[in-house]
């Protein structure tokens, strides 16, 4: 026997004669709240990781600046040393 049009629209009738749609909506609600909590947690984690990456980038730039300065001093000392050896 084919379901009636009203049963198709409501998703059928459960064993107790109640439409299944409200039951499905209720059972999905906890899943939606869990997904929302997970999304919020992931958003917070992404924000924290972005902040850490920015801090690490700043530290990397500072280290690059120190390395350039150290290399400049090393080159200067080498040049002076070679000049003094010639004289």
Distance CA 50, CA 54 (A): 6
Q: Do the Cβ atoms of 83 and 75 come closer than 8 Å?
A: no
CA gap 6, 20 in Å, rounded = 12
pLDDT in tens, 9-34: 445 555 566 655 555 555 556 688 88
**What token pair was written down for 80?**
């002076």
Higher pLDDT residue, 68 or 85? 68
pTM given for the model: 0.45
pLDDT tens digits for 27-83?
556 688 888 999 999 999 999 999 999 888 888 888 999 999 999 999 999 998 888
Q: What ranges in the chain are assigned the alpha helix state H? A: 5-10, 20-86
Task: Return the number of other C-beta atoms located less than 10 Å from residue 20's C-beta.
Answer: 15
Query: How confident is the model at residue 32, as a pLDDT?
Result: 85
Spatial distance between the Cα atoms of 32 and 83, rounded to a whole number of angstroms? 75
- Paired with 19 in beta bridges are 13
């Amino acid at each position: 026997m084919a379901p009636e049009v009203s049963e198709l629209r409501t998703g059928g009738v459960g064993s107790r004669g109640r439409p299944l749609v409200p039951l499905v909506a209720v059972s999905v609600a906890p899943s939606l709240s869990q997904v929302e909590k997970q999304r919020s947690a992931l958003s917070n984690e992404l924000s924290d990781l972005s902040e850490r990456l920015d801090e690490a980038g700043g530290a990397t730039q500072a280290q690059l600046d120190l390395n350039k300065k150290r290399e400049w001093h090393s080159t200067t000392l080498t040049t002076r040393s070679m000049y003094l050896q010639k004289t």
